[in-house]
């Protein structure tokens, strides 16, 4: 009788677990610290009304960040999200009947047609980006940078420095209306986050996204159509940006150039601060939600303690820098563990 030796799996110590979960723990602890700090610093911060304000303030960013999470999980980047949102919002207003005081040579259509054209626009823009990245081979950073300029040009040509105000009734309701005291914008953002989480967690497409981001070469050997997955996530990102753009125009009450200028940094920060790896394959919608709350609580809390607006920008930059450092450090720990014998 031949004896066999058993190979025992290495025990996972607390230190190993902490290093493995560093990207998830740090954002949560940051959020907890911010909530506690601002609760003591301002008596009006921790209230139901203010919590609803925070949710509403991050809702547009949340919708954009859902699509951006899909892209970053594949180790790609989309710098055009804010510009696609702006262009789509202007398109839906351009094809909506405006007041006589609005000096824009637009083309009024029925509300449903305006929405369809706007959706077609954002999907077409996403399709062009996807083709440039997957068929021509342009790096996503460069391709989406070019698409940013293209979208800004579309926005400028349509409104020519003017401001449009009217949007289709459905868009106006979802962007600025409420039901039982809850803004529809919050509900749409929550649904977008939920659908994104379900797709990434429970579908084969979601598993393919993680495979492509985790090890692209291994995914190809496994039979995954990597180019198709990358094209799909870029299209999803464009659609999410377009949806956010249409609802954002209703929320702001106007459609104009450069209206979504800050949302590119906000969306990227939400994904990265939440702990999703810039190298792909690690993270998800849960991380993005934490990142959204960190940014929302930080911005709202700084307003409550009346901090200087210029210092507020500096603090946000430092928070993003800290998140990037943690992201890089967590990735190095993961690589060193996987390389260890």
d(CA 263, CA 108): 28
User: Cβ(169)–Cβ(40) under 8 Å?
Assistant: no
178-179 and 182-183 strand pairing = antiparallel
154-174 pLDDT, tens digit each: 999 999 888 888 999 999 999
Question: How many C-beta atoms surround the C-beta of residue 41 within 10 A?
Answer: 13
Tell me the percentage of the chain whose pLDDT exceeds 90.
59
Half-sphere exposure of 339 (CA within 13 A, CB side): 6
31-64 pLDDT, tens digit each: 888 899 889 988 888 888 999 999 999 999 999 9
| Lowest-pLDDT range of 69-73, 159-163, 184-188, 331-335 | 331-335
| 203 phi, psi to nearest 5 deg | -120, 160
Q: Tell me the Cα Rg of the chain.
A: 22
pLDDT at 264 over 80: yes
Tokens 């190809």 locate to 220
Q: Nearest Cα to 192, choosing from 135, 116, 246, 128?
A: 246
Half-sphere exposure of 169 (CA within 13 A, CB side): 3
Q: Provide the token pair at 323.
A: 């998140």
- What counts of helices (H) and strands (E) characterise the chain? 14, 2
| pTM confidence score | 0.90
């Amino acid at each position: 009788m031949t004896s066999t030796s058993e190979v025992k799996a290495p025990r996972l110590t607390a230190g190993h677990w902490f290093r493995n979960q560093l990207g998830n723990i740090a954002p949560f602890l940051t959020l907890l610290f911010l909530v506690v700090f601002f609760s003591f610093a301002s008596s009006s911060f921790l209230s139901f009304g203010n919590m609803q304000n925070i949710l509403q303030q991050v809702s547009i960013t949340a919708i954009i960040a859902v699509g951006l999470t899909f892209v970053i999980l594949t180790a790609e980047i989309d710098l055009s999200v804010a510009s696609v949102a702006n262009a789509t919002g202007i398109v839906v207003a351009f094809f909506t009947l405006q007041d006589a005081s609005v000096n824009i040579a637009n083309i009024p259509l029925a509300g449903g047609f305006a929405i369809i054209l706007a959706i077609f626009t954002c999907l077409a823009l996403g399709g062009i980006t996807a083709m440039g990245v997957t068929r021509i081979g342009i790096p996503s950073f460069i391709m989406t940078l070019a698409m940013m300029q293209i979208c800004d040009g579309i926005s400028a040509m349509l409104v020519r420095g003017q401001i449009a105000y009217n949007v289709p009734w459905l868009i106006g309701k979802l962007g600025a209306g409420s039901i039982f005291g809850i803004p529809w914008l919050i509900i749409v953002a929550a649904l977008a986050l939920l659908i994104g989480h379900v797709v990434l967690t429970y579908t084969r497409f979601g598993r393919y996204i993680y495979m492509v981001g985790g090890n692209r070469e291994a995914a190809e050997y496994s039979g995954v159509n990597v180019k198709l997955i990358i094209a799909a996530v870029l299209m999803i990102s464009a659609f999410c940006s377009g949806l956010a753009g249409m609802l954002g125009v209703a929320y702001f009450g106007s459609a104009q150039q450069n209206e979504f200028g800050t949302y590119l940094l906000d969306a990227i920060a939400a994904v990265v601060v939440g702990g999703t790896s810039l190298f792909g394959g690690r993270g998800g919608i849960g991380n993005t939600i934490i990142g959204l709350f960190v940014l929302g609580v930080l911005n709202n809390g700084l307003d409550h303690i009346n901090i200087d607006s210029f210092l507020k920008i500096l603090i946000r930059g430092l928070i993003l820098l800290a998140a990037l450092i943690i992201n890089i450090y967590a990735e190095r720990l993961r690589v060193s563990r996987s390389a260890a014998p």
